[in-house]
Amino acid sequence: MPNLDIIDAHHHIWRHADQPWLNGPTVPRIFGAYDAIRRDYPISEYLGDIKDNGVVASVYVQTNWDPSRCIEEIAWVQSIADAHGFPHAITGFADLAKPDVAATLDAMRPYTRLKGIRQQVHWHENPSYRFAPRPDVIAGADWRRGLAQLAPRGLLFELQVFTSQMASGAELAHAFPQTTFVLQHAGMLEDTSDAGRAAWRKGMQQLADCPNVFVKLSALGTFVHRATLADIQPIVSDTVTPFGAERCLWGSNFPIEKIWTDYATLAGNIRQAVAHLSVGEQRQILSETAARLYRL
């Protein structure tokens, strides 16, 4: 198997002081106990983690600063990139339902590494998995008016939904054919029963039927709190089949995944998980799809 270069299309760096979910009391999280990451995760540590793993570029994804500081977050990450070369692209945050979202997006224009927006809209009947206040945020007229502001500014949208929301996600993608959507974390498969996997595969097919939806193979250990090859291989295979390699990309989700694994193991496992594909398809998943989407 060739040791192909990787673009890490989903990672975070942070200052502990800017992360309310790290600064406050410990509360249940999808990824379990997280005392090990209740601290700064600076760019120097990230660069140490990726060393000798073939990472040639990376994409930072927002980390839920106070919403009023969304521009400040992007400015800070751009300053890190200007000083260190990494990350090469930024996905920021904007509340798309706000009436002044267009002005907010315009204020982000000077930060040239900004390539996308993530507003986490995932909702689950299990409160520990829930982020959005209700399951149908993306159906709101105000929210959709905000989403319509992204494509004219060359920004993609990182879509984070659970299986139960996938049909609505597909409807959204059909309604906004000019917008590029990147499905987060391979659709966050949390129910690994036969019925749960069947429902997830059906939803993934609905999303794959939308040519403007791409999918990120990231955070595949979130719900089992590990990331072995045996855990990720079925998800990778069942994702690549409907979407095709040209619409799949990989991301580490570091430092969250650092709770249960190291970067070398994670990178090695994704290489093994796609090793049965052609070299061209491996390149798509490991680097070329991300390079196209984030214009690297």
Asked if residues 243 and 274 have their Cβ atoms less than 8 Å apart, the reply is no
Q: Is the pLDDT of residue 32 over 90?
A: no
What is residue 182's DSSP assignment? E
Flag the least confident range among 23-37, 107-121, 160-174, 191-205. 23-37
What's the number of CA atoms in the CB half-sphere (13 Å) around residue 183? 35
Percent above pLDDT 90 for the chain = 89
User: Per-residue pLDDT tens for 216-262?
Assistant: 999 998 999 999 999 999 999 999 999 999 999 999 999 999 999 99
Among 8, 102, 120, which residue's Cα sits nearest to residue 64? 120
User: Per-residue pLDDT tens for 144-169?
Assistant: 999 999 999 999 999 999 999 999 99
State the chain's mean pLDDT as an integer.
95
Residue type at 41 in one-letter notation: Y
Q: Looking at the domain covering 6-293, what would its CATH class be? A: alpha beta
pLDDT tier at 1, thresholds 50, 70, 90: very low
Residue 30: predicted pLDDT: 81
